Amino acid sequence: MTPAIELREVHKRYGTEAHVDALKQVSLTIETGELVSIVGPSGSGKTTLLHIMGALLRPTSGTLRIAGRPTSSLSDPELSALRAYELGFVFQNYVLTPGASALENVADGLLYCGVSRRERLRSAHEVLDRVGLVARTTHIPTQLSGGERQRVAIARALVGNPTLVLADEPTGNLDTQTGAAILALLTSLNADGVTMALITHDPDVAAAAPRTIEMRDGRVIADRGTDANTRRA
């Protein structure tokens, strides 16, 4: 089976003379169906790694493949299309459209996939049911709790059946009980076959993943979990 994502010797440098090397020769593979946590202190390169993996930034050198497809030669519109079809994003602060309903926010995840409005709404309704929010489809974000907003964000990430879901601190804005419920949802979705990479500072989130990648100073310093060594080979 084709891996969800592969990075080989990926380097990311910001600036020229007074440059900062945010990633240094990072190689890793995430297989389809995996649940991976990515941890490390502030400044370790986690966010840059997420942006590279999400095709939001281009690496300075090295190669990135998403669902087997090399990205180095793709134009910006082609990268946008790749993100739309292959990747789902979940952010700490939800990034929901304030005046739109939960249903509309989730349906927006299919805006760039050439899907009719009717089909977008149908798919959004199905995935909101999947995350336990079918009774909240007409509610706007201010009418939802923090946990419910994050469920909407997760539903939006899932609506296009992406190859990989990238979540940046998905429990970071939530209280302990709500965060635990979101973590349970994420692990349940992974058990159903959703491939996920979770950027986190939360030890409970990291511990829930069978595999943990630890970053420091722009490098992968540890890769622990199921067959991690063979995946990096």
The DSSP annotation for 189-213 comes to HHHTT--EEEE-S-HHHHHHSSEEE
The residue with greater pLDDT, 228 or 39, is 39
For 54-97, the pLDDT digits (tens) are 999 999 999 999 999 999 999 999 999 999 999 999 998 999 99
For 7-32, the pLDDT digits (tens) are 999 999 998 778 899 999 999 999 99
From CA 84, how far away is CA 11, in angstroms rounded?
A: 24
pLDDT bucket at 135, cuts 50 / 70 / 90: very high
From CA 232, how far away is CA 67, in angstroms rounded?
A: 16
Percent of residues in the chain assigned helix, strand, coil, to nearest 5: 40, 25, 35
- Residue 27 CB burial class (10 angstroms; 0-12, 13-18, ≥19): middle
All residues at 6 or more sequence positions from 10 whose CB lies less than 8 Å from its CB, including other chains: 23, 25, 26, 27, 52, 59, 61, 62, 63, 64
From CA 182, how far away is CA 96, in angstroms rounded?
A: 17
Q: What is the pTM of this model?
A: 0.91
For 145-157, the pLDDT digits (tens) are 999 999 999 999 9
Crossing angle for the helix pair 117-130 and 146-158, to the nearest 10 degrees: 130
Q: Say which amino acid occupies 195.
A: T
181 pLDDT above the threshold of 60: yes
From CA 230, how far away is CA 233, in angstroms rounded?
A: 5
Closest Cα to residue 216, out of 44, 10, 27, 24? 44
User: How high is the pLDDT of residue 226?
Assistant: 66
For 206-221, the pLDDT digits (tens) are 999 999 999 999 999 9
Mean pLDDT of 192-200: 95
User: How high is the pLDDT of residue 180?
Assistant: 94
229 pLDDT above the threshold of 70: no
Mean pLDDT of 35-51: 94
Say what percent of the chain tops pLDDT 90. Answer: 87
Ordered by start, the domain boundaries in the chain are 5-232
User: How high is the pLDDT of residue 227?
Assistant: 61
CATH 3.40.50.300 correct for 5-232: yes
- Residue 193 CB burial class (10 angstroms; 0-12, 13-18, ≥19): exposed
Closest Cα to residue 166, out of 56, 26, 22, 27? 56
Q: In angstroms, what CA-CA distances link 88 with 23, 142, 219? A: 22, 23, 24
45 pLDDT above the threshold of 50: yes
184 pLDDT above the threshold of 70: yes
Residue-averaged pLDDT of the chain: 93
User: How high is the pLDDT of residue 217?
Assistant: 95
Task: Check: CB of residue 197 under 8 Å from CB of residue 167.
Answer: yes
Determine how β-strand 35-39 pairs with β-strand 211-216: parallel
Closest Cα to residue 129, out of 106, 113, 145, 146? 106
182 pLDDT above the threshold of 90: yes
pLDDT bucket at 232, cuts 50 / 70 / 90: very low
